[in-house]
């Protein structure tokens, strides 16, 4: 943290360059005002001035402090990104790439893995990774660093991606499917891979990450530009107000034979005091900090526009598997039929599942243990013959001591039972149909040709997901589940999770059509995806979060990349987006309310010498025009510092309707923005008088 502050202080002075200041029009006006008062201070040393040198020096110092405080807020926000960029650069280095040709790849694809590895290693030629071109093929073996972004064409390996994601656990990358993308800078831990270069040096995913986390590469968003135009307009309005007041003061002073209390120094200070400098100084920091919070959540936003859009999203398309459910169906109940005992059914189901290493099979073993205390047994050396599952029989089980236990799909077990002279009762058929209609999967268990009952497998809704969706509903966001399941199953899961709608038996075309339909109705749509078949829908969505574990096509189509590859991250992204918009809106409200309060607090005190009747409006009874001006300009500088933590941290977001949130923020930041200046300026005025400064 100390290094971050030191870097921010150093950058605050570096940003005093005119070109850097010109990027923020409001603060550039403060910069020009500070430079002008510096000139006035120098002139005062030669007896050319409209105010005491001490007063001009104080105004000059405070104005330069205001500029530096604005620079510090931006530099502090940028510092997080620069620190992360430095860490990423340490993972980026020029390495030796092993390039192979297409003919060698074709031969290796026909050979056994060991022969293929030897063939590829023998034919590879060393090339610097900085010289790799798009479309070239390279080989990476265990212990080697991936030289460039690529799409895996052959092989499978364990890859350490901690340099990119921060996660220490390795991941499996393999050819085909949705986990075929390789990122340059990662390390292959085992086996080998052949990949095709998808991005040349300087344009890799790591280069994009470095550019995006460095705030210098951040482009202003449309909302930010619109707000900046509003601030410029307000600045021009207050500039006109200041000159008008100066004219009034000059005319009245001339007619009364008095001195104009609004000299050029006070005029410049008054203009800076009234201009919306608070939000002007913090606006850039708010945007940078919003993207930084996304980076801290391990999400790479390719543009600030995407972060803003996340705050305005009102429709979320979410995959079922891994997002809403745990990803694998699990045993939820044992349902005996035809007079069978539930414990006997559980015992038989566990025995039939001991050799089943699938998540579903293990869940049957665990449920029997939890429900009836039936301890897991071993099949080794106990006279058991395992009957493995096959696509032909759609059953599995064990044979022992002349007994047969089978577990499988209802129609497969029916055929098995009837072939042995048994009966598949109507009760069992009804139970199986009931489980299926509720969105579950029925597995029928039989012993020696007699049906014992049904195991209910069901998608397990993730803990807390229903509460998350309730929060989204409170935000006014519609949630839509996308699944390949049949409509009955999809409806059951959607109802249990508390979703608004679902798209069953979804195809890439169906996803794309759904997004277009919602957008045509005026909605902003967000979705996640990881496969090549998700790319069209990701490209269409307003907020498209691609999984880092997914294909290159998905990552290129999305405007955000989740480095953790967690589909539920979309919910957090929406919250961060809304928090950024709320922070900007809240501090804008506070800043404008501040300006109005300062207007009514300071101007009466300044003009009382010319218009004694204004004393009635000098409700704070400020000591003198000089003390009033100094107190206001000091407050104007200090409030920027006071609000930096809020700008970086963000306004705390609470779920609720837009009207409720607007009312709360207006009450807190609107009324607070009016009240705080009165209290602070009065306290500063008293302090200045007490120490004899004014």
pLDDT, tens digit, 9 for 90 and up, residues 318-358: 877 666 777 667 888 999 998 889 999 998 898 888 877 77
Residue 72: per-residue pLDDT? 92
| Selected residue with higher pLDDT from 484 and 120 | 120
Distances in Å between the Cα of 272 and the Cα atoms of 34, 40, 602, 629 are 9, 16, 13, 11
Residue 163: per-residue pLDDT? 65
Residue 322: per-residue pLDDT? 64
| Selected residue with higher pLDDT from 609 and 238 | 238
Pairing of strands 525-529, 543-547: parallel
Q: How far, in Å, CA of 633 to CA of 361, rounded?
A: 72
Q: Which residues contact 691 (CB under 8 A, 6 or more apart)?
A: none
- A 10 A CB-CB count for 402 gives 6
Q: Is the pLDDT of residue 602 over 80?
A: no
Tell me the sheet residues that pair with 292: none
The answer to the question of whether 360 is labelled as a binding residue is yes
> If residue 437 lies in a helix (H) or strand (E), which one and from where to where?
helix 426-437
For 372-384, what is the mean pLDDT? 71
282 within 8 A of 643, measured Cβ to Cβ: yes
Query: Catalytic pick from 319, 485, 562, 685?
Result: 319
Distances in Å between the Cα of 237 and the Cα atoms of 231, 234, 272, 275, 636 are 10, 5, 12, 9, 18
Q: How far, in Å, CA of 134 to CA of 121, rounded?
A: 21
Residue 216: per-residue pLDDT? 46
379 within 8 A of 351, measured Cβ to Cβ: no
> If residue 173 lies in a helix (H) or strand (E), which one and from where to where?
strand 171-174
Q: How far, in Å, CA of 184 to CA of 204, rounded?
A: 7
In angstroms, how far apart are the furthest CA atoms of the chain? 122
Q: Which residues contact 85 (CB under 8 A, 6 or more apart)?
A: 210, 213, 214
The answer to the question of whether 534 is labelled as a binding residue is yes
Q: Is the pLDDT of residue 38 over 90?
A: yes
pLDDT-derived band at 57, boundaries 50, 70, 90: very high
For 360-365, what is the mean pLDDT? 84
The answer to the question of whether 390 is labelled as a binding residue is yes
pLDDT-derived band at 446, boundaries 50, 70, 90: very high
User: What are the tens digits of pLDDT across the range 493-530?
Assistant: 888 888 899 888 777 788 888 899 999 998 989 888 77
pLDDT-derived band at 68, boundaries 50, 70, 90: very high
126 within 8 A of 171, measured Cβ to Cβ: no
Q: Is the pLDDT of residue 80 over 80?
A: no
User: What are the tens digits of pLDDT across the range 212-224?
Assistant: 666 545 566 677 7
Residue 28: per-residue pLDDT? 92
| Selected residue with higher pLDDT from 670 and 506 | 670
Read off φ and ψ for residue 396, nearest 5 degrees. Answer: -145, 170
Of how many residues is the chain composed? Answer: 694
Q: How far, in Å, CA of 538 to CA of 321, rounded?
A: 18
Rounded percentage of the chain residues whose pLDDT exceeds 70: 91
57 within 8 A of 41, measured Cβ to Cβ: yes
Residue 312: per-residue pLDDT? 85
- In the block, tokens 């009747």 appear at 613
Question: Which range is least confidently modeled, 116-125, 253-262, 536-545?
Answer: 253-262
For 650-656, what is the mean pLDDT? 76
Which range, 131-145, 369-383, 475-489, has the best average confidence (pLDDT)? Answer: 131-145
Angle between helices 25-44 and 277-296 (to 10 degrees): 130
* 45, two tokens: 């040393």
Q: Is the pLDDT of residue 311 over 50?
A: yes
Residue 258: per-residue pLDDT? 66
634 within 8 A of 642, measured Cβ to Cβ: no
Read off φ and ψ for residue 331, nearest 5 degrees. Answer: -65, 130
Residue 454: per-residue pLDDT? 93
The answer to the question of whether 255 is labelled as a binding residue is no
Residue 164: per-residue pLDDT? 67
* 317, two tokens: 């398309």
3-state secondary structure of 553: helix
For 69-76, what is the mean pLDDT? 89
DSSP one-letter string for 221-240: PHHHHHHHHHHHHHHHHHHH
| Selected residue with higher pLDDT from 98 and 393 | 98
The answer to the question of whether 86 is labelled as a binding residue is no
175 within 8 A of 152, measured Cβ to Cβ: yes
* 185, two tokens: 């800078």
Domains of the chain are 1-82+215-294+575-691 (no CATH), 96-146+149-198 (2.70.150.10), 313-324+462-563 (3.40.50.1000), 328-460 (3.40.1110.10)
DSSP state of 325: B
Distances in Å between the Cα of 100 and the Cα atoms of 103, 108, 123 are 8, 11, 6
The answer to the question of whether 481 is labelled as a binding residue is no
User: What are the tens digits of pLDDT across the range 269-308?
Assistant: 888 888 888 888 998 888 888 888 887 788 888 777 788 8
| Selected residue with higher pLDDT from 381 and 629 | 629
Give yes or no: 319 in active site. yes
Continuous H helices in 257-341: 264-274, 277-296, 304-312
| Strand order, beta sheet including 395-400 | 330-336, 450-458, 441-447, 403-408, 395-400, 385-387
DSSP state of 429: H
State the chain's mean pLDDT as an integer.
83
Read off φ and ψ for residue 479, nearest 5 degrees. Answer: -110, 130
| Selected residue with higher pLDDT from 63 and 258 | 63
Q: How far, in Å, CA of 462 to CA of 454, rounded?
A: 24
* 260, two tokens: 């104009």
Residue 60 CB-half CA count within 13 A: 18
Q: Is the pLDDT of residue 46 over 60?
A: yes
DSSP one-letter string for 66-118: HHHHHHHHHHHHHHHHHHHHHHHHHH----EEEEE-HHHHHHHHHS-HHHHHH
**How far apart are the two ends of the chain, measured CA to CA in Å?**
38
**Strand residues in 409-467 grouped as ranges (E):** 441-447, 450-458
Residue 79: per-residue pLDDT? 76
| Selected residue with higher pLDDT from 694 and 205 | 205
pLDDT-derived band at 84, boundaries 50, 70, 90: low
pLDDT-derived band at 33, boundaries 50, 70, 90: very high
| Selected residue with higher pLDDT from 548 and 573 | 573
Residue 667: per-residue pLDDT? 84
The answer to the question of whether 129 is labelled as a binding residue is no
The answer to the question of whether 521 is labelled as a binding residue is no
pLDDT-derived band at 641, boundaries 50, 70, 90: very high
Nearest CA-CA partner of 177 in 153, 150, 161 = 153
pLDDT-derived band at 261, boundaries 50, 70, 90: low
The answer to the question of whether 530 is labelled as a binding residue is yes
């Amino acid at each position: 943290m100390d290094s971050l502050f030191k870097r921010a202080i150093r950058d605050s002075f570096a940003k005093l360059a005119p070109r850097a200041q010109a990027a923020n029009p409001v603060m550039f006006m403060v910069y020009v005002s500070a430079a002008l008062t510096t000139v006035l201070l120098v002139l005062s040393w030669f007896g050319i001035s409209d105010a005491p040198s001490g007063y001009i020096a104080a105004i000059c110092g405070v104005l330069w402090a205001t500029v530096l405080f604005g620079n510090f807020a931006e530099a502090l926000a940028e510092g997080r990104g620069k620190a992360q960029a430095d860490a990423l650069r340490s993972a980026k280095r020029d390495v030796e790439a092993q390039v192979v040709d297409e003919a060698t790849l074709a031969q290796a694809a026909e050979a056994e893995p060991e022969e293929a590895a030897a063939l590829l290693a023998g034919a590879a030629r060393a090339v610097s990774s900085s010289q790799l071109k798009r479309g070239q093929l390279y080989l990476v073996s265990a212990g080697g660093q991936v030289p460039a972004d690529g799409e895996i064409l052959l092989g499978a390996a364990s890859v350490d991606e901690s340099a990119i994601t921060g996660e220490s656990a390795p991941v499996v990358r393999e050819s085909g499917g949705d986990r075929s993308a390789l990122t340059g800078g990662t390390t292959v831990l085992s086996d080998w891979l052949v990949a095709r270069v998808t991005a040349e040096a300087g344009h890799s995913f790591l280069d994009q990450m470095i550019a995006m986390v460095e705030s210098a590469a951040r482009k202003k968003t449309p909302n930010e530009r619109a707000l900046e135009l509003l601030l410029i307009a307000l600045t021009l309005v207050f500039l006109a107000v200041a000159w008008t007041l100066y004219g009034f003061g000059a005319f009245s002073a001339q007619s009364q034979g008095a001195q104009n209390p609004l000299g050029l120094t006070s005029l410049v200070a008054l203009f800076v005091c009234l201009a919306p400098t608070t939000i002007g100084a913090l606006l850039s920091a708010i945007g940078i900090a919003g993207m930084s919070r996304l980076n801290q959540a391990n999400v790479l936003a390719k543009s600030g526009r995407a972060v803003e859009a996340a705050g305005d999203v009102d429709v979320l398309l979410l995959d079922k598997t891994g997002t809403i459910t745990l990803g694998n169906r699990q045993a939820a109940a044992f349902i005996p039929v035809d007079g069978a005992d539930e414990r006997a059914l559980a015992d038989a189901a566990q025995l039939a599942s001991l050799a089943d290493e699938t998540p579903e099979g293990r869940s049957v073993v665990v449920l029997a243990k939890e429900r009836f205390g039936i301890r897991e047994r071993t099949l080794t050396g106990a006279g058991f013959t395992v009957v493995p599952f096959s696509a032909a029989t759609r059953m599995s089980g064990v044979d022992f001591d002349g007994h047969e236990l089978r577990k499988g799909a209802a129609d497969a077990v029916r055929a098995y039972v009837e072939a042995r002279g048994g009966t598949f009762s109507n009760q069992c058929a009804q139970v199986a149909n009931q489980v299926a209609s509720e969105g579950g999967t029925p597995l029928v268990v039989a012993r020696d040709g007699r049906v014992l009952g049904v195991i209910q497998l069901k998608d397990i809704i993730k803990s807390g997901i229903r509460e998350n969706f309730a929060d989204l509903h409170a935000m006014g966001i519609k949630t839509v589940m996308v699944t390949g399941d049949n409509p009955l199953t999809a409806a059951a899961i959607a109802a249990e999770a508390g979703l608004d709608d679902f798209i069953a038996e979804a195809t890439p075309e169906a996803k794309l059509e759904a997004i277009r339909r919602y957008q045509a109705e005026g909605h902003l749509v967000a979705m996640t995806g990881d496969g090549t078949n998700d790319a069209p829908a990701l490209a269409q969505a307003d907020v498209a979060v691609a999984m880092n574990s997914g294909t290159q096509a998905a990552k290129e189509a999305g405007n955000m990349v989740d480095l953790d590859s967690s589909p539920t991250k979309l919910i957090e992204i929406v919250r961060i987006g809304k928090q950024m918009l709320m922070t900007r809106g809240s501090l804008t409200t506070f800043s404008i309310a501040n300006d109005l309060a300062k207007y009514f607090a300071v101007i009466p005190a300044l003009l009382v010498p010319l218009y004694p009747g204004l004393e009635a409006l000098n409700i704070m009874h400020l000591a003198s025009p000089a003390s009033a001006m100094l107190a206001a300009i000091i407050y104007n500088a200090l409030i920027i510092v006071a609000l930096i933590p809020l700008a970086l941290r963000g306004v705390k977001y609470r779920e609720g309707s837009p009207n409720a949130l607007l009312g709360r923020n207006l009450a807190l930041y609107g009324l607070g923005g009016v009240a705080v200046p009165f209290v602070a300026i009065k306290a500063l005025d008293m302090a200045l008088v007490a120490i004899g400064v004014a």
